[in-house]
Chain A
Amino acid sequence: MKLRRSLLAVIALVALIISACGGTAAPAAGTLGPLSGDIRISGWSSSPTEDALLTESINAFMAANPNVKVKWEPIAQDYETVLKTNLAAGTEADVFYADIFWIDSLMKTGKLLALDDLMAKSGVNKSDFVPTLINAFSYQGKTYGIPKDFNTLGLVYNKDLFKAAGVAEPTNDWTWNDLSAAAKKLTSGSVVGLSLPADAARFVPFLWQAGGDLNNINNAAGQAAVDFYTGFEAKDNVSKLPSELGMGWAGEAFEKGKAAMVFEGGWLPADLNNNFKTVNYGVVQMPKGTAAKSNLIFTVSYSISAKTKNPTAAWALANYLTGSDNQAKVLKAGFALPTRTALSSQITNPNSKAIFDGAPYGKPFNYASANTGKVNDEIAKALESIMLKKSSVKDALDKLATTIKPLLQ
C-alpha cells in the first residue's frame, strides 16, 4: 500500500514536471511521446491578420516542442491545382488544408492518413467536435481530417429596410411562409426583398428543407422546393439574380442596399464589418421548410498526408491547431467559428451564433463526391432557365434529373 502510494506520488510529480516544462499552451506531448522532426504545413492565405495568427500559433507549438521544426508554406492562389499537382507527384506537405468540397477523392484513394489511432493516443474524441463536421471528414468509419473551421448559411437581413417597411424582423423560428410574406412586403422601388442566385450552393438547403433529395430531384418534394426558390423571381417578382442587379454576388446586392435579405455565410458579416460599416444588419438561422430545418456546411480540415514521414509530429501540430485553446483564440479574433462543441458557449455574438447553430442540421457540401462541381453546374443552369422564365419548373427539373443521375453514383 505504502509503495503504491509513493509510486503514484512519484508518477504525479513526474507528470507535473513534464507538463510544466511543456510551456503555457502545451499540446498533449506527454501522451504521444517526445516529438522531433521536420514537418511542412500548407494551406492558403486568407488575410494578413489571419496569417499572422496562424504563424503565432505555429511558433508557440515549436516553442513547446523544441525538436520539431514546422515550415508554413502558404499557396498563393489556385490551391486546388497546386495541391493536386503535388499529390500526383507525391510531394505534398505533411499537414494541409482539405476542403470538404473535394476531399472525397483523396479519402477514397488512400492519400490521407487515418487519424483514429493518433486521436486515441492523445485523448481526442470524435465527440469533442460538432458531429456533422467530424463525420463529414470520415470515410468507411475512419477519420481523415479534423475540421478547423466551418460556415453555414444564415439569413442576413437589413434592419433599416425592415423598419422602413414596417415588417417584423426575422427570428430563428421563421418558416417558408414567413419568408414569403416578408419578401413581398419588402419589395418596393429599386429594392427587392431577396436576391437569390441561380446557385446550387444556395438552393440545395431548400431542397432538403422540403424533404427532397438529389437522387430524385424531380419528385414532388423537389418540385415544391424548386417552385418555392425560383418562384420569388419567376412568379412574385420579389427577388432578382445578383447579375440582374448589376452585382457580382448576392452579398454585394445586400451590401449596396439593393436586397433586403440574402442567404450567405459568415463571410458576409465579416465583409460588412470591414467595408460596409453603415449597413445595419442581423443574421438568423435559415427558415424551416415544409419538412425540416436544413443547411449546407462549408468546412475545411487539417488533414495529414498518408506519405508523411513523421505522423506523430504532424498529428501533434494538427491537434494543437484545432485544440480548444487555439480555436478559442481564433474565435476571439473574430475570424472563424470553432468546430468544438464545448466552445459554442463562448460565442456571444447572436449573428455568429445563428451561423454556428446551422451546423447540427446541415449537410456537408460534397453530396456528389468528385462530381459535386458538375452537379452544381447543372443545377445552376436549370435554376437560371426557370428564373429567367425560359422554361417551366417541370421541364427543367425532368431534364436535370436525367443529367445528374449518372453523376451521383
Chain B
Amino acid sequence: MAVIAGGAVRRPSRFRYWRQWLTAYLFLSPFLLFMLVFIAGAVVVAIYFSFTDYDLLSDPVFVGLKNYQKAFQDEEFLHALRNVATYTAVVVPAQTFVALVMAAVLDQKLPFRRFFRIAWYLPCVASSVVTTLIFMWLFLPDGFINAALNFVGIPIRLNWLGDEATALPSIMFMNIWATAATMMLIFLAAIQDVPGPIYEAAHLDGAGPIRQFFQITIPLLRPAIFLVVLLGTIGCFQLYDQVKIATNGGPNGATSTVTYLIWKQGFRDLNMGYASALGVILFVGIFVISLVQRRFLDVRPDY
C-alpha cells in the first residue's frame, strides 16, 4: 500500500501535475461558466448600483459613497441588523442541534425508521411561501395554536404575528420547523458514510453507543457541521419570504430584516442605489462571519 504518513499521495511528476490542474479546471468549468455568466456579472452590476442613485425609472446617477454613509446612520437599518443578529443567534444553533438529534435518532435501528424519516422531512417539502401561509393561518388569533394552548389550559388568544413581542419568535419557530430536517439530510448523508469498521473497533475497545456517538461520529461530522452552520447562517441573513408575506416587517419593525428593508427601499421607495448598498453591506457581514466559521469548524476529519 503506497500510503505515506499523513495519507498524502506520492508526489506526481511535473507532467502529471499540469494534467491534474487541467483536469481540475475541466471538472469545474461547467459550473464556473454558469456562475460567471449569471452571477458574477449581476454581482458586479449590483455593486455598481450601490454607488449610484437609481430609481429604476431613470438612469443611475453616480454618487460615490453616499449610500454607505447613510446606511450606518439609518436607524431602520440598524434595527433590522439587530433583528437579523438575534434571529440568527437563536435559529442556527437550534436548527443544527435538532438536526443532529434527528440524524442520531434515525441512525439507530429503531422500528418505523423510514416512516420517521419521511414524516420529519415533510415540513421542508413545502415552499417557504406555502409554509408561511399555513403558519399565518395557524397563528391567527382564532387559529390552531391558540386553540391548542387553550385546550391544555392556557387561556390565551395571542395575535402571534401581530404582537411586537411574539412576532419574531413566531417566525423563528416557523423556520426551525421548516428547515431542521433539511439539515438532518445533510447529517444523515455524512453519518451513513462513516465506515463501519471504525465503530467496530471502538466497540472492541469498550465504548458504548453514546460514547461512540460523541467521540467518533461528531468529530467525523465536522465538515457536515460546518456546512450546516454556514448554510444556516446564510439562510438566516437572507430571511425574506416569511417576513414579506406574514408581517411586512412589522409590527413596528419588530420583524424587519435587512432583506425586507432592501425590498422596501429598492422597489417601494425607488431607492435602488441605497438598497444595493445595504445588500453589499450585508454581503460583507455574512462573508466575514463565514470565514470565521470556516476557520473554526471546517477541519478535515482525521482518520
| Interface residues of A, Cβ cutoff 8 Å to B | 80-81, 84-85, 87-88, 102, 105-106, 109, 111, 242-243, 246-248, 256, 370-371, 373-374, 381, 384
Specify which of B55, B162, B252 is in contact with A384 (CB 8 Å cutoff). B252
Closest to A381 in B: B252
Q: A88-B56, A109-B57, A109-B58 are in contact. Are A243 and B159 (CB under 8 A)?
A: yes
**Chain A hits for B56, CB < 8 A:** 84-85, 87-88
**Chain B hits for A256, CB < 8 A:** 142
B93 touches A (CB below 8 Å):
no
Closest to A243 in B: B162
Contact check, B158 vs A246: say whether CB atoms are below 8 A apart.
yes
Q: A88-B57, A109-B57, A246-B141 are in contact. Are A374 and B269 (CB under 8 A)?
A: yes
**Chain A hits for B18, CB < 8 A:** none
Which of A84, A85, A106 has its CB near the most chain B CB atoms (within 10 A)? A84
Q: Quick one: which of B113-168 are within 8 Å of A by CB?
A: 140-142, 157-159, 162-163
Q: Min CB distance, A113 to chain B, in Å?
A: 15
**Chain A hits for B162, CB < 8 A:** 242-243, 246, 248
Closest to A101 in B: B268
Contact check, A246 vs B57: say whether CB atoms are below 8 A apart.
no
**Chain B hits for A81, CB < 8 A:** 263, 267
Contact check, B57 vs A105: say whether CB atoms are below 8 A apart.
yes
Q: How far is the CA of A137 from the CA of B55 in the complex (A)?
A: 20
Q: How far is the CA of A88 from the CA of B159 in the complex (A)?
A: 39
Specify which of B58, B140, B251, B269 is in contact with A373 (CB 8 Å cutoff). B269
**Chain A hits for B142, CB < 8 A:** 246, 256
Q: How far is the CA of A81 from the CA of B157 in the complex (A)?
A: 35
**Chain A hits for B55, CB < 8 A:** 105, 109, 370
21 contacts between A and B (CB under 8 A): A80-B267, A81-B263, A84-B56, A84-B267, A87-B57, A88-B56, A88-B57, A102-B268, A105-B55, A105-B57, A109-B55, A109-B58, A242-B162, A243-B159, A246-B141, A246-B159, A247-B159, A370-B55, A370-B269, A371-B269, A373-B268
Q: Min CB distance, B50 to chain A, in Å?
A: 16
Closest to B136 in A: A248
B218 touches A (CB below 8 Å):
no
Q: Min CB distance, A95 to chain B, in Å?
A: 18
Specify which of B140, B158, B270 is in contact with A84 (CB 8 Å cutoff). B270
Q: How far is the CA of A179 from the CA of B189 in the complex (A)?
A: 66
Closest to A242 in B: B162
**Chain B hits for A111, CB < 8 A:** 57
Contact check, B269 vs A247: say whether CB atoms are below 8 A apart.
no
Q: How far is the CA of A373 from the CA of B251 in the complex (A)?
A: 15
Q: How far is the CA of A371 from the CA of B251 in the complex (A)?
A: 20
**A-contact 0/1 string along B243-262, CB 8 Å cutoff:** 00000000110000000000
